[in-house]
Amino acid sequence: MLAVFESTIGKPPEALIIPSGWMVPETRFEVPEICKAAWRDTTFYNFPNGNFMAFSHVCENPAHPKSVGRSTVVMDDIFCTFRGTIDNIGELRRHYGLTRQATEAMLMVEIYKVYRDRAPYPPDQVIKDLSGMFAFVLFDANRSKLFVARDRDGKVKLHWGVTDDDSLVFCDDAEVILDVCGATSTAFPAGCIFMNSDQGEKLASFDHPLHKVRAIRRENDDGAVIGVFFQVDLFSRLPSIPRVGSEANWGDAAAPATE
């Protein structure tokens, strides 16, 4: 899967923007050609201003074992592409009133809609309830809301990076995102969610939502930054802020009242 969003939708963390000598596309508009060259039989969902989501129907890369499930769905202008397996999907289908035929991607859309509109607590709580191996990218086209997550053990590959025009890229193929983003590409942190809101973008751990997710840059012998990775800082603590209403729950997902 591949998803590219301009910075007005998904502003990249500043630490992810690294000056690099890698040749990368000048803008997000050039990324689809790289995708088409790497993956045959690719489906694109195109949005305004060059934003898009794409996935391949064929696993050609050894990094994509066929045992890892894939599902993509479009419901009510909400686009979700999912890789992996939810072990407790039967329980969650019953909880959300879904049929036995509902895929993991359908489940993610329903979870997003419920917690966007009526949630008594923030999204990190429901992601914590997911058992299994997974990575997904969800985009609500009507509200320009982005919701991304990866399982706590990082069993399903997911990378992110930045293009030359500061567009944010998510991809499960390390080679493709390296071609697209160069040294700005890195693994999306396991056990984390990323989302945008009226208060800005948030990267948070769903197991440790009251602790910061810090970026750690790697340098060469000359002190030049050559990469970055993210990890939860268990020695830091975010302030707990009381919230009222569903909008506050969505916007402050990284700082719930209780951990």
Question: What would the pLDDT profile of 61-113 be if each residue is shown by its tens digit?
Answer: 444 444 467 889 999 999 999 999 999 999 999 999 999 999 999 999 999 98
Mean pLDDT within 5-31: 80
pTM check: above 0.85: no
What is the CATH number assigned to the segment(s) 2-251?
Answer: 3.60.20.10
Question: What would the pLDDT profile of 109-154 be if each residue is shown by its tens digit?
Answer: 999 988 788 755 677 777 888 999 999 999 999 999 999 999 999 9
Question: What would the pLDDT profile of 46-63 be if each residue is shown by its tens digit?
Answer: 999 999 999 886 654 444
Domain ranges of the chain: 2-251
Q: What are the Cα distances from residue 67, in Å, to 61, 85, 100, 156, 228?
A: 13, 9, 20, 11, 30
